[in-house]
Structure 1
Amino acid sequence: MKPIINIKSISDINNFVQHRTSHPLVTVIDFSKMDEIMEEGTRVSCDFYSIMFKNYCANNMKYGRQSYDFQEGSLVCIAPKQVVTMDTEIEKKEDMMGWGLFFHPDLLRGTSLGTKMKDYTFFSYETSEALHMSDKEKEILYDCIQKIETELRENIDNHSQTLIVSNIELLLNYCQRYYGRQFITRNNFNRDILSQVENILRKYFNSEDLKKNGLPSVSYLADKVNLSPNYLSDLLKKETGMNAKDHIHHHLIEEAKNILLGTNKSISEIAYELGFEYPQYFSKLFKQKTGNTPQEFRNLN
């Protein structure tokens, strides 16, 4: 396995593709003008955010353990410190088309966008879910990119950061909207994932895994359906109104109700049986979800 290439700064990536650095914390790169092509299997980690739009059919990229469905007209958003692997070699350099926006977290320090970045969960989608866009959507994002490029070509002044960050935020908000649209238009895929999650949880709560390992985690569920935790939670939220953690708790509470009404076991015994190390945590969660303590629920029924 090849060592990871760590690209620390915006000037580093500009130097790599022989692009002039106009701003130390942000750059826009036209892929059609790139002279360098990374070899197959090259692994790269950047200390900044990367948003890449590809308008040609060529290679795939691996992000985490999964391959991106990085086809013509698709976009990926990658958070700092994530490792990307160039999976297959680009056949013809002249076929390369698209753009990349790269910006360092320091650009966002002290701005409203800096506090909102955690809300853009698509930066943590580690699977084959690139964003596929219509021609109109591509034009809207490219308009944001052009505005950022225009600012980068101007002399940096007191307004530069505000205008650049505002256009990055606008672009991210459009990405959030388009991902929401993509969730809606993939109903068959979403329903299949929902069915898988329900089956996985049903089997888990009916097995010895609960007693041995405690509650299943969101990461456990995501791994079982080959999705990242954030993508799975967002998908379930769009489909059912409940995120992945809510689904786990729903199955837990239903199982707890069955035991409370079907046995004479103490609350502590039930808590341990459901994988809780401390019974008070079980009681607190049960009341939070039902409005009653376990004992109150038992008495009422």
Structure 2
Amino acid sequence: MAPGQTIAIEQIEPSDRAFGWTIAFHPDLIRNSEMGRKIEHYNFFHYDTNEALHLSAREVRLVADIAANIELECGNNLDRHSQMLIQSNLELLLKYSERFYDRQFYVRRDLNRGHLNRLNAFLHDYYQSEQCLDKGIPSVALCGKELGLSPYYLSDLLKRETGKNALEHIHLFIIERAKSLLHDGNISITQIAYDLGFEYPQHFSKLFKAKTGLSPRAFKAQS
């Protein structure tokens, strides 16, 4: 559940195995704090529910202990240390969540490589079928939808597998395709830009130079 999101709970059948807790707090608690400045960088708040963490029994106990510390601190008489201690425990909880996601990405490397292969296949088919002429450059959201993944999860997955996020991966694919087209001296740079899904040729030129250090014209001249 991400900051600003709402949640609704329908009637649940009682079960001895069902348990859990929620930490909800007002934004003022972390406003102007180090945690307040960092919280937007935790991408897992934007993951879909099917991309949630799967914790071991030891990890569940560790997370529950941190939650218990927060609950204990909230139940104490407030003093000048209270807000800082609650913030520290919240940040510790987020740090452990980030660590556990790193572990989860690592143990799912075979599955993640499958996602990478499917992404490359989708991009290849997208351009081979010339969908880019109508839809433009494929977005991270479109790629994620095709793979059944949220955009942030896809980006984090690729970052851990290849060192590049989803947008960088899409751009790399486009640049490699552009290089092949530039080797064909019969196609103008403007036409190549349109064929790759760019609305404006100058946007293509800017991206190409940023990624290769050469303008499309200079690259074509030395090919």
Q: TM-score under structure 1 normalisation?
A: 0.70
Alpha-carbon distance in 2 for matches of 1:190, 1:279: 34
> Larger strand proportion, structure 1 or 2?
1
How much has 1:139 moved relative to structure 2? 2.1
Distance 1:102 1:83, change over 3 A: closer
Alpha-carbon distance in 2 for matches of 1:94, 1:136: 20
Counterpart contact for 2:140–2:166, Cα < 8 Å: yes
Match of 2:59 among 106, 131, 137: 137
Structure 1 position 80 matched with structure 2 position 30? no
How much has 1:206 moved relative to structure 2? 1.3
What letter corresponds to residue 144 of structure 1 in structure 2? Answer: I
**Greater displacement, 184-193 / 215-224:** 184-193
Structure 1 position 221 matched with structure 2 position 143? yes
How much has 1:162 moved relative to structure 2? 1.0
What SS does the corresponding residue of 1:102 show, helix, strand or coil? Answer: coil
Counterpart contact for 2:158–2:164, Cα < 8 Å: yes
Alpha-carbon distance in 1 for matches of 2:110, 2:214: 37
Alpha-carbon distance in 2 for matches of 1:230, 1:278: 27
Alpha-carbon distance in 2 for matches of 1:209, 1:157: 61
How much has 1:155 moved relative to structure 2? 1.0
Match of 1:162 among 84, 95, 108: 84
Alpha-carbon distance in 1 for matches of 2:126, 2:8: 33
| Root-mean-square deviation (Å) | 1.7
What SS does the corresponding residue of 1:96 show, helix, strand or coil? Answer: coil
How much has 1:81 moved relative to structure 2? 4.0
What SS does the corresponding residue of 1:98 show, helix, strand or coil? Answer: coil
How much has 1:93 moved relative to structure 2? 4.8
Alpha-carbon distance in 2 for matches of 1:268, 1:86: 54
How much has 1:106 moved relative to structure 2? 2.4
What SS does the corresponding residue of 2:83 show, helix, strand or coil? Answer: helix
How much has 1:127 moved relative to structure 2? 3.8
How much has 1:117 moved relative to structure 2? 0.9
Q: Looking at both structures, which has the greater relative contact order when contacts are Cα pairs under 8 Å and sequence separation is at least 6?
A: 2
Could you tell me which residue of structure 2 aligns to residue 251 of structure 1?
173
1:127-276 → structure 2 map (5 Å cutoff): 127-276=49-198
What letter corresponds to residue 263 of structure 1 in structure 2? Answer: G
1:59-74 → structure 2 map (5 Å cutoff): none
Query: How many positions carry a matched residue from both structures?
Result: 223
Distance 1:120 1:110, change over 3 A: same
Alpha-carbon distance in 1 for matches of 2:106, 2:219: 38
Alpha-carbon distance in 2 for matches of 1:122, 1:156: 31
How much has 1:188 moved relative to structure 2? 2.3
Q: TM-score under structure 2 normalisation?
A: 0.93
**Greater displacement, 97-106 / 163-172:** 97-106
Could you tell me which residue of structure 2 aligns to residue 281 of structure 1?
203
Alpha-carbon distance in 2 for matches of 1:94, 1:257: 61
Deviations 1:67-100 (A, max 9, x none): xxxxxxxxxxx1134355658x533255432222
What SS does the corresponding residue of 1:132 show, helix, strand or coil? Answer: coil
> Larger helix proportion, structure 1 or 2?
2
Could you tell me which residue of structure 1 aligns to residue 44 of structure 2?
122
Counterpart contact for 2:3–2:45, Cα < 8 Å: no
What letter corresponds to residue 107 of structure 1 in structure 2? Answer: L
Counterpart contact for 1:124–1:230, Cα < 8 Å: yes
Structure 1 position 107 matched with structure 2 position 29? yes
Structure 1 position 294 matched with structure 2 position 216? yes
Counterpart contact for 1:127–1:227, Cα < 8 Å: no
1:14-33 → structure 2 map (5 Å cutoff): none
How much has 1:277 moved relative to structure 2? 1.8
